[in-house]
Amino acid sequence: MTQKIPMLDLAAQNGPLREEIRAAIDRVIDSNYFILGPEVTEFEKEVSEYINVKHVIGCANGSDALVLALKALGIGLGDEVITTSFSFFATAGSIARSGATPVFADIDPVTYNLSPALIEEKITPRTKAIIPVHLYGQMTPMDEIMAIAEKHNIKVIEDAAQAIGSKEKGRSAGSIGHVSCFSFFPSKNLGAFGDAGMVCSNDDEIGTNLRSLRVHGTGKVRYHYDHIGLNSRIDAMQAAILRVKLPHLAAWTESRQTNAGRYNERLKDVPRIVTPTVLPGMFHIYNQYTIRTPKRDELQAKLKEEGIASSVYYPRPLHLQNCFADCGGKEGDCPETERACVEVISLPVFGDISDESLDRVCGVIKSHVASL
């Protein structure tokens, strides 16, 4: 029987760390600090050093991180925030949850990230921020984004949920915008054993606000509140587990990059297959290895028949989602996004996938193309 190839093998990643993780969990149990406490403080310090950001605030998940970022910047009812239509729901959902209106701009078809060239035409007097998403593990060109923001006196929130460790010209994802947000969902390159997230800033005032907002908006005196915040604290248990994993992140990233290179080599001469492009100065961490091809759904079905997992991120643009109908989006508004939604497919790229498995995946893809 042909062995199945999963999209991600967490057992292969977590197995070698089992005893170290158990020791970290025991450390939390022995300390009796389950909410915030020393494990969270140390994890925040370690991530601060890893991505070179002054203020790092652990929170409950990546979605809350975005909401906290918007709240810390005072963005709410009547405001507009420009973002990509090609992202996970939480990017735009957080804007709506804050009372603001998401304004969708189209993507660069090469990187799938928000196109800086299309942002300014979306700016109005109500625009208060831009949220670029570092999709699949490659950063949006931040110099261009920050120049537009400075010109129009608006803020930038980096959605780096898929991009911890990614870099542009040596600068880490999450270290350039006014605020940045991360997710440690278990399938991420740095994944917890449940939900967990982080919001960061190099601005002292924003950092102070974020620390208050994640604990209901509490002030300096207990049970006195300066803001209306959230109950969004990263669990001490998750922080302890992530502390075990963080030192391995660089090696895991290198393995993903190696596997991406193997895919690129095997697929480079295959017609009607577009492999990922890494822009100059970018350090791509391959949270996903995403290709595009005609008749994508047929390819996914063929992969499934062969026991090979794959995923589509994302099959429907945000501007065409029913929940954002009030934003007035219609077909044709973001043509590159709409085209990507019917052509992209992400392949297994986790560090422990074997070369033989990569060959099998590429063989099915070549067979698919030959049948077109």
Last-in-domain residue among 246, 265, 284: 246
Q: Which domain holds residue 203?
A: 10-105+112-246
Same domain, yes or no, for 188 and 332?
no
Q: What is the pLDDT of residue 372?
A: 75
3-state secondary structure of 197: strand
Predicted TM-score (pTM) of this structure? 0.96
Assess if residue 286 is contained within a domain: yes
Distance CA 288, CA 34 (A): 32
The CATH number linked to 47 is 3.40.640.10
- Residue ranges, the chain, pLDDT below 50: none
Report DSSP state, residue 122: G
Residue 372, class by beta-carbon neighbours within 10 Å (0-12 exposed, 13-18 middle, 19+ buried)? Answer: exposed
Q: Report yes or no: 67 and 230 within 8 Å, Cβ to Cβ.
A: yes
Same domain, yes or no, for 278 and 208?
no
Dihedral angle computed from the Cα positions of residues 132, 137, 141 and 145, in that order, rounded to the nearest 10 degrees: 20
Assess if residue 2 is contained within a domain: no
- Taking only the tens place, the pLDDT of each residue in 166-222 is 999 999 999 999 999 999 999 999 999 999 999 999 999 999 999 999 999 998 888
For 222, half-sphere exposure in the C-beta direction (CA atoms, 13 angstrom radius) is 0
Q: What is the pLDDT of residue 306?
A: 95
Please confirm whether the linkage preceding 314 is cis (ω < 30° from 0).
yes
Q: What is the pLDDT of residue 371?
A: 83
Q: What is the pLDDT of residue 221?
A: 84
Same domain, yes or no, for 230 and 252?
no
Tokens 């969004």, residue? Answer: 232
Same domain, yes or no, for 258 and 203?
no
Assess if residue 276 is contained within a domain: yes
Same domain, yes or no, for 154 and 187?
yes
The CATH number linked to 359 is 3.90.1150.10
Distance CA 125, CA 276 (A): 36
Distances (CA, A) of 242 to 20, 44, 287: 11, 10, 17
Q: What is the pLDDT of residue 102?
A: 98
Q: What is the pLDDT of residue 220?
A: 82
